[in-house]
Amino acid sequence: MSYTLYNSNGSGSFIVDSALIMAGAEFTKIDIDMDSGRHREAEFAAINPMKQIPTLVLPGGEIMTETAAIIIYLAQEFPGKGLAPEAGTPEQARFLRWAVFMSANLYEGVLRVYFTERYTNDESSAGPAGVKAAAQHNLSAACAVLEADLAQRGPWLSGPRMTLVDVYFTMLQAWYPGMADTSATPKLTALAQAVRADALIAPILKRHEL
């Protein structure tokens, strides 16, 4: 029973790659060269009409998209592998909260910083500049929420051990280090450093050049 991950190093496929490796799952990767625009070609569009990476094909052929949904699903499929806390616990509730929170606030915020033209029809310089400024403000505000929670419960976001939401944050911070002020979010900074030092995750980060 093997999974198929449509992958592009450095993209959101990093967290799915990490999840599959943490789970010890059998999977193959199909690398998609996004720089060449291969993800926009008809062959891949037939698999994922939104033409987005990552895309995961389950052993039975079902196609999954949306990074947060994929990691939540894999955590349920591989209990006891350290992907997420045990089902039905308060720690799992935190895991689900932060996985969706990061998808809605951090992942999307980083896209607004780097791809501002996607989010405005204002062709003047004020349009993209306003989108970027709002995104940067919202990213800082979201990181402050995470920092405050870590101050109460830390050092990890969903319990006493590292889970996929901690790895997820580390990926997003690697994309846009400016989302969090190191002096204002020392616990988030320490969390990302600890993830980077993890023996299993460190080589995956290196391979994805994050």
Q: 3-class DSSP state for residue 6? A: strand
d(CA 29, CA 19): 13
Query: In angstroms, rounded to a whole number, what is the distance separating the alpha carbons of residues 99 and 168?
Result: 8
H or E, element range at 153: helix 126-153
Identify whether the C-beta of residue 138 lies closer than 8 Å to the C-beta of residue 109: yes
Alpha carbons 191 and 193: distance in angstroms, whole number: 5
Query: Does position 175 have pLDDT exceeding 80, yes or no?
Result: yes
pLDDT by residue (tens digit) across 34-92? 777 777 778 888 988 988 999 999 999 999 999 999 999 999 999 999 999 999 999 99
Q: 3-state DSSP call for residue 3?
A: strand
Place of tokens 């969706």: 100
CB 169 within 8 A of CB 191: yes
Give Cβ neighbours of residue 183 (< 8 Å, ≥ 6 apart).
none
User: pLDDT tens, 94-141?
Assistant: 999 999 999 999 999 999 999 998 898 887 878 889 999 999 999 999
Domains and CATH numbers, the chain: 3-77 (3.40.30.10), 90-198 (1.20.1050.10)
The pairing of beta strand 63-64 with beta strand 55-57:
antiparallel
